[in-house]
Amino acid sequence: MDSSKEPLVYILIPVFNSWDYTKNCLDALNKINYQNFKIIVINDGSTDQTSEKLRQEYPEVIEVKGNGNLWWSGCLNRGIQYLFDAYIEPDYVLILNNDTIVDQDFLKYLINFCEERPQTIASSKLLDVDQRNLIWMFGNYLNKWKGLTFNGHNEIDGPAFMKTIEFDTLDGTSTLFPFSIFKSLNLRWDEKFFPMYYGDTDFVLRVKQKGFKSFVVGQSIVYCFGGKHSVSTSYENYTFVDLVKFIGSPKSYFHPKLAVRFYGRHCGFLSGITLGMKSLWLLIKLFVDKYGRNILMKSHLFKIARYLKKTLIRPFVLFVIKKKSFFDNRFEWYLRAFTLLRLQPQIKICLFKKMRDMIGSKDLEIDIVIPVTKKDYDILPMVIDSGRMYIKHRIKKIIVVAAIDEQIKDLCQKKNCLLIDEDIVLPIKKQEIDYVVHNQDRSGWLFQQLLKLHSNTMSNSEFILVLDADTVFLRPIYFREKDRNIFYVSDEYHLPYFDFIKRVCDFKKISLVSFVSHGMLFESRKLLHLKTSMEKKYKQNWSKIIVDHCDKSIASCFSEYETYGNFVFNNFPQEMLINYWFNLALSSDVLKENNFHDLQKKFSSHYRTISFHSYLKENDADLKGV
């Protein structure tokens, strides 16, 4: 578009110190695919030479200076006042935080949307700057009794977040306003009541009362640091006295007065009082942590608690803490509660033993290996993201093994994965396998399993988690507890897999459960032991042994998981823990209408993982869950 025909936009950026953020923000703005804009930086008394650096490095940027007491809302009002004082009437005003990096097309999408719809406010989709497929915020909902809800926070970006959706209110990280709001309606940010937090959402709600609507444009993307440098993100490390001071500070999102004012103004007096008091819960929680036990000991309540502990709580605790699910991200608060009740030694020993084992498993370092074919490209990003989110071990690197093309190279670069050419891994090539059943070429299917069994040559880690490229995690998962690997078993009991094991491997016993579970933690030394034992018996390479001994008259004749699982079952049974896999198989078509958040919401209460298969047909039962 010709820049002379583009609507004029003035971008207001409030700044207090944090020059590195400001510089990154300005550099990104200078690269956007939009020409007709000007930048105003409102410098509220920065002491890190922001003013000097702006003059030297960005002379085209307009600087408006404050005295250090403007705060966020005051900065924006000062920027608007500058426009009026200079007799500047742009078409739009964009407010932008300095801790952001904008996409090249972010402004173009906002302008195009607002040009088509008068009386509209539009905000960008906010993604985490470190994990760029992770939603930081996608609009806000306002409930009279629950308060503000930050939509999409920590969800995986997907098709559902590429849409343009109307919301109750918006935050002020990257939001576009028609200039008529300031000129005709004479509205400003409430710097008296909301100098920092709540100012953005309050302003949007007051603008909407004048007949405007608020939307998030999913194609307009801004990467933000998500408050990583904000003082409000570290409140849990405060002492009780410091927390009292912090909550009373204007810098605090948890200031009770701010919440009472905001919710009282927009939800009514009773809601304002109720929701405003929620911030005091931080004080109560910390106070109980530090002093609750002593208070309880000195009161008559202790007698009641002691009686309940003896008759009800102690038997329940002993039962619950033996359940592994009890320790999924919850044991810290239970520990505090149990300590408050002065547990007997045997309960404490059991609890701390479980905690020690779980903490030990978190410290385990693993590499992840994912063999991939072209049909897996669509689901692979979700597989990688869910693995990073829910695999509760320290992941050193994720290795993708595939036939090299531009698409997989680009995907691995975006996801920060190591890409290995599948043609250089094995001594045998895919074309040499020659596995065709009923006019269906199964050579690639068998080749993928051989790649997994050779994962110890791709990684220098002792523990290698091999995953199928069609399986997504829905909740936290462990693959090792203390000194034993967790094997997830299924009901995929396929007899030809066991027939192969009986023919080729000298195992004394065969498992009564199936180890086919779309993922398994391999140990390098055990993998080497398995392959060496096969080569010693047949005097040839292990991969050639598998290819030669497979029954190629049937479609599925071999399983790497079944073979390795039974190998460990025979040779190292004391190092195994067995858990059921809780996987749901879905049609690949489900991905067209559901993002990760939808799937997690529907299935995570019953399933640990979901897998997608092209041979399945979508049906209503899949989407409703069980």
Q: Are strands 37-44 and 9-15 parallel, antiparallel or unpaired?
A: parallel
User: Where do we find the tokens 């034992």?
Assistant: 533
**Are 452 and 590 a contacting pair, CB within 8 Å?**
no
> Do 443 and 592 lie in a common domain?
yes
**Are 253 and 263 a contacting pair, CB within 8 Å?**
no
**Are 280 and 260 a contacting pair, CB within 8 Å?**
no
Instruction: Give the CA distances from residue 420 to residues 232, 374, 387, in Å, rounded to whole numbers and listed in that order.
Output: 42, 15, 19
Query: At 215, which helix (H) or strand (E)?
Result: strand 213-224
Which residues partner with 44 through β-bridges?
66
Beta strand ranges found along 3-88 (DSSP E): 9-15, 37-44, 62-66
> Do 524 and 403 lie in a common domain?
yes
Which residues partner with 38 through β-bridges?
10
**Are 523 and 485 a contacting pair, CB within 8 Å?**
yes
> 4 in a domain, yes or no?
no
Alpha-carbon span 178 to 90, nearest angstrom = 9
DSSP letter assigned to residue 7: P
> 168 in a domain, yes or no?
yes
Tokens of 327: 């320790």
At residue 22, φ and ψ (nearest 5 deg) are -60, -45
Which of 294-303, 430-439, 466-475, 613-622: highest mean pLDDT?
466-475
> Do 262 and 339 lie in a common domain?
no
Greater model confidence, 589 or 610: 610
Greater model confidence, 187 or 508: 187
Percent of the chain with pLDDT over 70: 79
Q: Where are the alpha helices (DSSP H) in 325-483?
A: 331-340, 345-362, 380-390, 406-414, 443-453
CA triple 374-128-21, angle to 5 deg? 130
Alpha-carbon span 317 to 325, nearest angstrom = 13
Mean pLDDT across the chain? 82
Instruction: Give the CA distances from residue 195 to residues 66, 174, 189, 198, 267, in Å, rounded to whole numbers and listed in that order.
Output: 14, 18, 8, 8, 20
> 290 in a domain, yes or no?
no
Alpha-carbon span 607 to 517, nearest angstrom = 13
DSSP letter assigned to residue 48: S
Alpha-carbon span 184 to 205, nearest angstrom = 17
Tokens of 456: 């110890």
pLDDT score, position 156: 83
Which of 13-27, 183-197, 236-250: highest mean pLDDT?
13-27
> Where does residue 155 rank: exposed (0-12), middle (13-18), buried (19+ CB within 10 A)?
buried
Alpha-carbon span 165 to 345, nearest angstrom = 55
Alpha-carbon span 209 to 211, nearest angstrom = 5
Alpha-carbon span 318 to 312, nearest angstrom = 11
- Is the per-residue pLDDT at 292 higher than 80? no
Alpha-carbon span 501 to 508, nearest angstrom = 11
Of 342, 361, 380, which marks where a domain is finished? 361
Nearest to 113 by CA among 92, 133, 138, 127: 92
Amino acid at residue number 176: L
318-342 average pLDDT score: 46
Greater model confidence, 363 or 601: 601
> 294 in a domain, yes or no?
no
The answer for residues whose C-beta is within 8 angstroms of residue 67's C-beta and 6 or more apart is 44, 45
Alpha-carbon span 282 to 276, nearest angstrom = 12
> 3 in a domain, yes or no?
no
> Do 221 and 276 lie in a common domain?
no
pLDDT score, position 242: 62
**Are 269 and 229 a contacting pair, CB within 8 Å?**
no
Query: In Å, how far from its chain's centre is CA 428?
Result: 38
> Where does residue 232 rank: exposed (0-12), middle (13-18), buried (19+ CB within 10 A)?
middle
> Do 279 and 303 lie in a common domain?
no
29-43 average pLDDT score: 94
pLDDT score, position 60: 94
> Do 376 and 492 lie in a common domain?
yes
> Do 197 and 344 lie in a common domain?
no
The sheet with strand 463-467 has its strands ordered as 418-421, 394-402, 365-371, 463-467, 519-523
**C-alpha Rg value of the chain to the nearest Å:** 30
> Do 62 and 79 lie in a common domain?
yes
**165-181: pLDDT as tens digits:** 999 999 889 999 999 99
Alpha-carbon span 305 to 406, nearest angstrom = 65
pLDDT score, position 133: 83
- Tally helices (H) and strands (E) across the chain: 23, 25
**Are 183 and 62 a contacting pair, CB within 8 Å?**
no
Which residues partner with 399 through β-bridges?
369, 418
**Are 209 and 142 a contacting pair, CB within 8 Å?**
no
Alpha-carbon span 576 to 542, nearest angstrom = 24
Count the Cβ atoms, other than its own, within 10 Å of residue 620: 6
Q: Which domain holds residue 539?
A: 364-624
> 459 in a domain, yes or no?
yes
At 317, the pLDDT band (50, 70, 90 cuts) reads: low
**516-574: pLDDT as tens digits:** 999 999 999 999 999 999 999 999 999 999 999 998 888 889 999 999 999 999 999 99
> Do 303 and 274 lie in a common domain?
no
330-341 average pLDDT score: 45
- Is the per-residue pLDDT at 206 higher than 90? yes
Alpha-carbon span 585 to 272, nearest angstrom = 46
> Do 446 and 585 lie in a common domain?
yes
Which residues partner with 12 through β-bridges?
40, 95
Helix (H, G, I), strand (E, B) or coil at 13: strand
CATH number of the domain at 584, please: 3.90.550
pLDDT score, position 336: 46
Amino acid at residue number 5: K
Alpha-carbon span 510 to 23, nearest angstrom = 63
CATH number of the domain at 145, please: 3.90.550.10
Beta strand ranges found along 502-553 (DSSP E): 519-523
At 381, the pLDDT band (50, 70, 90 cuts) reads: very high
DSSP letter assigned to residue 232: G
> Do 124 and 150 lie in a common domain?
yes
Of 187, 211, 229, which marks where a domain is finished? 229
**Are 241 and 290 a contacting pair, CB within 8 Å?**
no
User: What number of CA atoms fall less than 13 Å from residue 78's CA on the CB side?
Assistant: 24
> 166 in a domain, yes or no?
yes
> 292 in a domain, yes or no?
no
Count the Cβ atoms, other than its own, within 10 Å of residue 302: 16
486-508 average pLDDT score: 87
Alpha-carbon span 198 to 262, nearest angstrom = 7
22-35 average pLDDT score: 94
pLDDT score, position 233: 42
**207-261: pLDDT as tens digits:** 999 999 999 999 999 999 865 444 444 444 555 566 666 666 666 666 777 778 8
- Is the per-residue pLDDT at 345 higher than 70? no
Domain count, the chain: 4
> Do 200 and 248 lie in a common domain?
no
pLDDT score, position 331: 45
At 305, the pLDDT band (50, 70, 90 cuts) reads: low
- Is the per-residue pLDDT at 355 higher than 60? no
Instruction: Give the CA distances from residue 473 to residues 367, 380, 494, in Å, rounded to whole numbers and listed in that order.
Output: 17, 12, 24
pLDDT score, position 386: 94
